[in-house]
Amino acid sequence: MIFLRGQKKLLKKGERIDQLYAEDIQIIQSSEVFSFSIDAVLLANFARVPKRGKIVDLCAGNGAVGLFLSRKTTAHIDQIELQPRLADMGQRSIQLNHLESQLTMYELDLKNTFDRIKADSADLVVCNPPYFKELPTSQKNPNPHLAIARHEIHATLDDVVAVSAKLLKMNGRFSMVHRPDRFLEIIDCLRTHRIAPKRIQFVYPKPGKEANTLLIEGIKDGKSEGLRFLPPLYTYDHSGSYSADLQEMLYGN
């Protein structure tokens, strides 16, 4: 790793700087704590981003989704992350990219979001939430940082959608990445909280395989009709290389 002046002092033990070339964003990562996945890239590319206004990134982790969105808009982006270590990494990535005037990272429990952000103020809410229900039989990662990021230990699907609905202005958009096996539950949850599902895209690891990722967008107080299913998206092609779509998301044209 080659560091430019001032970069190395932003790193702590066990951390590295990775880059999303398509958006020219550098991000502080740690395999011991948390590294963003393809899901964050998919969500940032799926969301329809307002040119200005306010965006809120819930369950922000090390800030990847909000950082990627920053290149697409002048909107202010507030990020909410419960875990102190991840929020700190995200804050230092904001500094690394000189985005302090556009992004704000809050170390905060999702349920306390309104201590810092006003209700009915967001034009877009994005979320890459924990995917797995917290059950007595759940097999969780022994790494507590990863367990919290992947399991609904501190925030359930209903918590995420309820907070998002309260944050959004009327006709504001909600975009989330999740698992296809919870599709019907997600639809029911959105409609319960007055978010009308509008766009859905399934992501497949490669042609011939079942979908393993769901991208979904809803509109606060939107009309019930008009739901669209987008063409399938593939992560890899038959040869095992990134698909053309993923290559563009990761590396640009």
pLDDT per position as a tens digit, 160-207: 999 999 999 999 999 999 999 999 999 999 999 999 999 999 999 999
Residue 189 pLDDT:
98
Residue 111 lies in a domain: yes
Euclidean distance between the first and final Cα of the chain, in Å?
Answer: 24
Residue 34 pLDDT:
80
Residue 54 lies in a domain: yes
**22-58 pLDDT per residue, tens:** 999 999 999 888 888 999 999 999 999 999 999 999 9
> CATH no. for residue 98?
3.40.50.150
Residue 84 lies in a domain: yes
How many domains is the chain built from? 1
- Indicate the pLDDT class of residue 9, thresholds 50, 70 and 90: confident
Residue 33 pLDDT:
83
**92-133 pLDDT per residue, tens:** 999 999 999 999 999 999 999 999 999 999 999 999 998 866
Please give the C-alpha separations between residue 122 and each of 78, 127, 161, in angstroms, as whole numbers.
10, 13, 14
Range of the domain at 151: 8-251
Residue 107 pLDDT:
97
- Indicate the pLDDT class of residue 1, thresholds 50, 70 and 90: very low
Residue 3 lies in a domain: no
More confident residue, 69 or 253: 69
Query: 122, 165 in Cβ contact below 8 A?
Result: no
